[in-house]
Amino acid sequence: MPSFQHQNVHFHYEEMGSGEPIIALHGLAQHSAYWMKTGVAELLAKHYRVIALDVRGHGFTTIEGEPKGYDIETCVEDVNALAEHLGLKQFHLMGHSTGGMIAVRYAMQYAVDKSDHASNRLLSLILCNTSSSTQFSNLPDVANQAAITFMASSFENFSWPLIIQGLKINSGPLFAGLSAAKNSDELYEQTLKLMEDGNGKSIGAFVRSFYQDKNPHIEGLKKISCPTLVITAELDHIFTKTSKHFMANIHQVTHAHHPSCGHMTAVECPDWLTDKILGFLTIHQ
């Protein structure tokens, strides 16, 4: 398995294809398999070099000692560490959910027009079912912290099959699309496979640290200068709402909305998602 060492973190990643590179970041509790095992990377790899990173605390990426670095600023710099390891001067950056939060913050820093020079490390930005704030609920602060604690405790104390079984009973806003699908059991089984390599204790610690910033960083969004694709889906109620900040404030923005899928677009509608991504990339080559 391809990997590299950066400070106290041993990062795992997967790649396939050739051509212009796309760095792909997954969502919470998943890892590179979200892109590599859903068919999305395989289709993109016919035209591009797809590099999917296991974000720290997830998948096969491991951390020795402290600091754990489960904050968004550190995760943003992990993208640079991967790019430098691979010798990439420019690349497309794609993120789903939590990975999209990292991706958009990366773009705020490394794909902006500055007074003294243009920082254009990104060829394009692809934001799938995500937000520019990491505290994406509209709950009061006390209730939000209680929700974060409950979510973290679930990862820390329950097995992956039990977590999936619980989601089948109560899908919540993020898995509504899976529950509504005709092949719901099959999609949940696929989702289990995307999660089961993760360490629940590490993911719980990540949850407690990462989701603390309710600021959507509107001024940062306005500074993003690269072409940007925003993916939303009808049953993904939280992130369809938060994505409106992208459409209102990023200058070169394209929007694609699926009328019946939910949050897990690479699982629920991989062909549609890949088609929208390839169409966007073709226009902005």
List the domains of the chain with CATH numbers. 3-283 (3.40.50.1820)
| CA torsion angle 141 145 148 152 (round to 10) | 170
The whole-angstrom separation of Cα 165 and Cα 232 is 26
* Span between the terminal Cα atoms of the chain, in Å: 30
The whole-angstrom separation of Cα 187 and Cα 210 is 27
pLDDT at residue 142, rounded to an integer: 84
Specify the 3-state DSSP secondary structure of 148. helix
Specify the 3-state DSSP secondary structure of 254. strand
pLDDT at residue 114, rounded to an integer: 58
- Provide DSSP, 55-95: -TTSTT-EE-SS----SHHHHHHHHHHHHHHHT-SSEEEEE
CA–CA–CA angle 63, 66, 67 (5° rounding)? 95
Using 50 as the pLDDT threshold, list the residues of the chain that sit under it: 115-118
Residues 194 and 217: beta-carbon distance below 8 Å: no
Give me the chain's average pLDDT, please.
Answer: 95
Q: Which residue has the tokens 């059991």?
A: 185
pLDDT at residue 118, rounded to an integer: 46
Residue 275 CB partners (closer than 8 Å, separation 6+) = none
pLDDT at residue 119, rounded to an integer: 60
pLDDT at residue 111, rounded to an integer: 87
pLDDT at residue 112, rounded to an integer: 82
The whole-angstrom separation of Cα 154 and Cα 159 is 9
pLDDT at residue 139, rounded to an integer: 72
Identity at 11, one-letter amino acid code? F
- How is residue 83 written in tokens? 């790019």
Peptide bond into 67 cis (omega under 30): yes
- Model-wide pTM > 0.95: yes
